[in-house]
A and B are shown apart, each in its own frame.
Chain A
């Protein structure tokens, strides 16, 4: 009850402050003034409810995952292999597999994406082709991830014959995160002031020297931010590795890029849909989900941190 009063109080203050600003140059009759006031109050109340609902969803996701998973997540959970048909033990091979897949994806996507971005920004400024390519890349970013999975299955697994493997999965995830890396890099490159390019050219530098020694180093923090966010995405996706890389269970560490691997998101999916001990498996699935959630949050947090630091340096 007390909370409710407090909320309305804050609410009224907010409302009054907003209204005070616009009141100065508008003269209205008392009646319509009261009507407007009521309408505004109702509007704010709706907005507040929306925020509350959003927070509620977010909070409950985190709560359920913590409640379900926090009991099993220990150091041993992170470092041990699964035991007893997945009903005990840890998730180490899945963590390792996710690490390999993500590393592979970035290895594929970073050079390709950076090269694309440099070409689009530094070599073909403002052309029609540029806009067409940009639209294409943005659309690629909107393709559902399961479609990337099917593409990976058709092209890397089947056509190139890489099989269900770290390699196929990395390539598929790499293509998935490519648009993100390209647009982050493009943004970072465009944020480099033109005056630096001109300073370099005026000293007799070629375009290539300018890009390599001035523009890209200056854009690096922005590019890195994009890469880290992509890592978070690649680590968390299930659909692209479903047909291309992931195994329910492997007995050994992956021996080569052509081995199939366990991976964290797929591990969760598998625990919930396959196996013979659903009750014990569910707890482990929650534990895995918690680990994945923390991992992705940590990774995104690092990106935010880098961006913030970079901003304060240049500001």
Chain B
């Protein structure tokens, strides 16, 4: 497997006010791989993944030390265009958050703000991304219905479609199945397997089986620090740290 580094965190510390949420985090994210982030609630998984597309910029009184690179460029550099970073590094959130608009408009929005005007191109793109997100068959007859009328699992796939439409290079998933039923979860997981052929993926998950099934690398976070990072297979079969073992066998967290 080729091991080209896509994103890299270097000595990252992050503070909410004066409270540290991340301590000296170092992590590499490889091209066309799924990197899973696991750990108990409140250990800083969301905080970390949101740094990868600068979603924490909006948090007042927060502070970042260290650097995060995307293809060798420091994404927090003052020269870097945050809008460009967010387009290249897409994000799917824990709770499905479609806009209160039609299915079609949900996807059109991202295309329009990125400067696409041609109607037929937009239409093609909408269909294309719905197909990629494995939602097309279920919604093709009602593209102009409100997205809020879809089921939770469908809404989440719509959010994935919306994200795919703007052609990101990296996609961040923050517990994308946390609010979904097992069948919807299975469908999203299938989708992840497809997407990893083409995209670089980072996923936060509480579901150990899910992490084991879909990811190539896994990082175990605890209290804002990375306890262990390596091949998923190794983490799950021969963890080096006793805390990792305790966590994956369900003895705490």
Contacts and interface: CB of A to CB of B under 8 A. Distances in A.
Interface string B55-97: 1001010000000000000000000000110110011010101
B148 to A, nearest CB: 9
B90 A203 contact: yes
B109 A201 contact: no
Contact of B53 (A126, A202, A218): A202
Interface string A202-229: 1111100100011000100000000000
B124 to A, nearest CB: 18
B235 to A, nearest CB: 28
Contact of A218 (B84, B100, B109, B114): B100
Contact of A202 (B60, B91, B95, B100): B91
Given A201-B58, A206-B83, A218-B100, A195 B109 contact: no
B93 A204 contact: no
B87 A196 contact: no
A198 interface: yes
B159 interface: yes
B31 interface: no
Contacts of A43: none
Nearest to B166: A203
Contact of A201 (B86, B98, B166): B86
A205 B83 contact: yes
Interface string B108-142: 01100110000000000000000000000000000
Contact of B99 (A125, A127, A196, A204): A196
Nearest to A195: B97
- Is chain A's binding surface mostly helix, strand, loop or mixed? helix
Contact of B93 (A127, A199, A213, A214): A199
Contacts of B45: none
Interface string A179-213: 00000000000000101101111111110010001
A294 B23 CA distance: 65
Nearest to A199: B97
Contacts of A193: 97
Most buried by B among A196, A201, A202: A202
B226 interface: no
A214 B109 CA distance: 9
Contacts of B58: 201
B163 interface: yes
Nearest to B165: A203
A147 B167 CA distance: 58
B113 A198 contact: no
A223 to B, nearest CB: 15
A74 B197 CA distance: 76
Interface string A102-126: 0000000000000000000000011
Contacts of B157: none
Contacts of A209: 113
Interface of A: 125-127, 193, 195-196, 198-206, 209, 213-214, 218
Interface of B: 53, 55, 58, 60, 83-84, 86-87, 90-91, 93, 95, 97-100, 109-110, 113-114, 159, 162-163, 166
30 contacts: A125-B60, A193-B97, A195-B97, A196-B97, A198-B91, A198-B97, A199-B97, A199-B99, A199-B162, A200-B109, A201-B55, A202-B53, A202-B55, A202-B90, A202-B93, A202-B163, A203-B110, A203-B114, A203-B162, A203-B166, A204-B83, A204-B86, A204-B87, A204-B110, A204-B113, A204-B166, A205-B83, A205-B110, A213-B113, A214-B109
Q: Which 9 A-B pairs have the closest CB atoms?
A: A204-B87, A195-B97, A203-B110, A202-B91, A199-B97, A205-B113, A204-B86, A204-B83, A209-B113
Given A203-B90, A203-B162, 8 more contacts: A126-B60, A196-B100, A198-B91, A198-B97, A202-B53, A203-B113, A205-B109, A218-B100
